[in-house]
Every structure is written in structure tokens, then in C-alpha cells.
Amino acid sequence: MNKAIFLDRDGTINVDYGYVHSISKFEFLKNSIEGLKILNDLGYKLVIITNQSGIGRGYYTIDDYNKLNNYMLEKLGEFGINIAKVYMCPHISSDNCNCRKPKLELFYKAIKELNIDTSNSFAIGDRERDLAICNVEDVSGILLTSDTSDKYICKNDLLDAAKYIKKINR
């Protein structure tokens, strides 16, 4: 079985300016590439699970999303970072689908497809909904915030989270 890091995208890997879909505006967050590199080098499968309600709202198309996603993966690849798979929900909350976080369909799809051992895995995101899998499976959650949480480990950014994981490497 594989150990994995479930990652949110907007606000975790890249700057979240709201409905991120433009390559010209896409910007990696400070320290995110370095953090992803550490996690990749530790042997974790990196899995992105992202809500993209801008598609459901008509702000951009699935084609726009795919172009940006391919661009991001290409740029990460230039740094030797391999993203095992990206899972995306295009729906809005009122669609009441099972793939929009905090619902768990995409997490379970990844667990099955990538043969993930949840007990040796982490979820990292900038919102509690990004860590929803931690409420029902033995996945450790890291919330990227300068605040504190009774429920999750809190770190400032992906590099801080990666250093923490490296220190306790499971």
C-alpha cells in the first residue's frame, strides 16, 4: 500500500485569488514548491483534491481548468515533483453532489485507485473541509493557518507542514 498526501490546491499550493483559472494569473504560494519537493522525496504519493465551483457557476470551462491544471503539473514536473493524480469537483454547493469537499467521494476514489494506506497518510489544506477525510479515516490533518485548532495540527505553509512530516516521518 502507498502512503499519500491529500492536498487542496487553491490557497494551499497556489495563491487563491478567487475562482483560479487563468495561467497568466497563476502563482505558486511562497514555499509551496519546496514543501512539495520534500514530500515527494519522502516517498508520498501527492494527490490533489480540489473544488472548482467556478465551472458550475459558469465563470470558466472545464477546458480552461484542464489547461491550467496541465500548466501547473508541467511546472511542478520541472522541479522534479510528481503529482500522482488530481481529482476535481466542478459543482456548486446547491448541486449536493458527493464529490464536493467536505464530502468524501474523491478521497475514497483516490484511496481505491492509488492503493493508499490511510494510516500512513496526511491531508493538508487551508480550510477544514480540505481535511474532511480525517474525520472518518486514520489520516492526519494539517491545517495551513497561523491560528490554532483543537482538531488539527496547524502549520503556516506547505514547507512548514513538510518539515513537520519529515521530522515525524511515518
Q: What is the DSSP letter of 88?
A: E
Evaluate the CA torsion angle 110, 11, 170, 146 in order and state its sign: negative
User: Which segments of the chain does DSSP mark as H helices, in order?
Assistant: 32-41, 53-56, 62-78, 105-113, 158-168
Pick from 61, 109, 103, 105: nearest CA to 85: 109
Q: Is 117 a catalytic residue?
A: no
* Cα–Cα distance list, 151 to 25, 100, 143 (Å): 34, 21, 9
Reply yes or no on whether 8 is catalytic. Answer: yes
- Choice among 10, 126, 130, 157 that is catalytic: 10
Residues carrying an active site annotation: 8, 10
